Amino acid sequence: MNKVRRQYHHHYHFSYQTTIKRHLASIATVTIAIIILFFILIHFASPKNTFDINQISANDIFIASVNTVVRLLVAYIFSLLFSIPLALFITSTPKIEKILLPVFDVVQSVPVLAFFPVIVVFFTAYRAFEFAAIFILFMSMLWNLVFTVVGGLKSIPEDVESAASVFKVRGTKKLWNITLPAIFPYMTTGSLLAWGQGWSIIIVAEVLHTYIPHGTVSQDLLGLGSLLVDSFAQGKNSVFLATLAMMIIIISLLNFFVWQKLLHITERFKFD
């Protein structure tokens, strides 16, 4: 057993407390997460989101909350997965950085909502309403993450980069052992900003009917954003206030249990 364990460690070069058991647990966790994500995507690909604002119950508001948070989460995961390789590519050489940074600076300054009608028309042609909403959230979240991650990459001290090179910490080993931990504080700040942006855009992203020619409220996606807009438009003050209260509660809980904890943890990852 010891021999097997030693060979395993020697081959993979993970932290030496790591065991096969822990790796299997990680693989199982990732697999379960992928399966859950797959079911969420299936559900979102063929949604049953039609709702009648006159018959909204507390349960509907709860389901709307789950829908909204899942939309934001899926968009956030994609933004994060996309932003890190993009930021690494931007900063890979001074030449690429010199060309791409100003280009992306211009692109990110174009309001994301300007693209929305085109995006909605494209996705509604395939009846993929959820993807329209997630795509617009993804676009609104992406740039906050890209620019903060670029900032993080550029803030890694030169001596640390030199030490990595001298001690042969290269490629994926460098990514896992140095780059990702070093940009973690910046990723957290970027994520916080991205979610803030997402909450602002959700009010538009879920109210699809305004962008669909001859659209009706039945084409909106059930979520906190659409409930806020539709209930306000139809004078349903109690639904509006309940939805608003739910949104405030969720944002506060996320702030308390996720962002504050993460911001506290980031202190451990900051260079002097």
Partner 1 sequence: MNKPIVFTKISKAYEKTPKTPVVIDFTLSINQGEFFCLVGPSGCGKSTILKMIAGLEKPTSGVLIKPEKVGMVFQSGALLPWLTVENNIALAAKMQEFALEKVKRVTKEYLEMVNLDQFKTKYPRELSGGQRQRVGIARALAVESEVLLLDEPFSALDFLTTEELHNDLLQIWQNTKKTIIMVSHLLEEAVTLADRIGVMEEGKLKAVVEVSLSRPRNGDQHNFLPEVEKIRRLLT
What is the CB neighbour count within 10 angstroms for residue 216? 9
Asked whether position 58 contacts partner 1 by CB under 8 A, the answer is no
**Residue 96 touching partner 1 (CB under 8 A):** no
Q: Which is nearer to partner 1, 3 or 48 (CB)?
A: 3
3-state class (DSSP) for residue 21: helix
The reply on whether position 39 binds partner 1 by CB under 8 A is no
Contact with partner 1 (CB under 8 A) among 1, 3, 4, 15: 15
Query: Is residue 97 involved in binding partner 1 (CB under 8 A)?
Result: no
Q: Is residue 10 involved in binding partner 1 (CB under 8 A)?
A: yes
Work out how close the CB of 181 gets to partner 1 at its nearest, in angstroms, rounded to a whole number.
Answer: 5
205 with 183: CB under 8 angstroms? no
In the complex with partner 1, the residue whose CB is nearer, 17 or 109, is: 17
Closest CA to 13 of 188, 212, 170, 130: 170
Of 5-13, 30-38, 85-93, 215-223: span binding partner 1 (CB under 8 A): 5-13
> Of the listed pieces 59-67, 96-104, 167-175, 222-230, which binds partner 1 according to CB under 8 A?
167-175
16 touches partner 1 by CB under 8 A = yes
The C-alpha angle with vertex 192 and arms to 77 and 113, in degrees rounded to 5, equals 70
Residue 11 beta carbon to partner 1: minimum distance, rounded to whole angstroms:
10
- Burial of residue 145 (CB within 10 Å: 0-12, 13-18, 19+) is buried
The reply to whether 173 sits near partner 1 by the rule CB under 8 A is yes
Binding of partner 1 by 160 (CB under 8 A):
yes
Which residues, other chains included, contact 220 with Cβ-Cβ below 8 Å and sequence gap of 6+?
Answer: 49, 51, 206, 207, 208, 209, 226, 229, 230
> Which is closer to partner 1, CB of 78 or CB of 269?
269
Contacts 24+ apart (CB under 8 A), 233-237: 234/53, 234/54, 236/53, 236/54, 236/56
CA dist., res. 198 & res. 140, Å (int): 7
- The yes or no reply on residue 162 touching partner 1 (CB under 8 A) is yes
Interaction of residue 187 with partner 1, rule CB under 8 A: no
Give every CB contact of residue 160 below 8 A, 6+ residues apart in sequence.
Answer: 178, 182, 271
Least distance from C-beta 117 to partner 1, angstroms?
A: 45
Q: Is the dihedral of CA 172, 144, 41, 120 positive or negative?
A: negative
Residues that bind partner 1 (CB under 8 A): 6, 9-10, 13, 15-16, 157, 159-160, 162-163, 165-169, 173, 177-178, 181, 184, 268-272
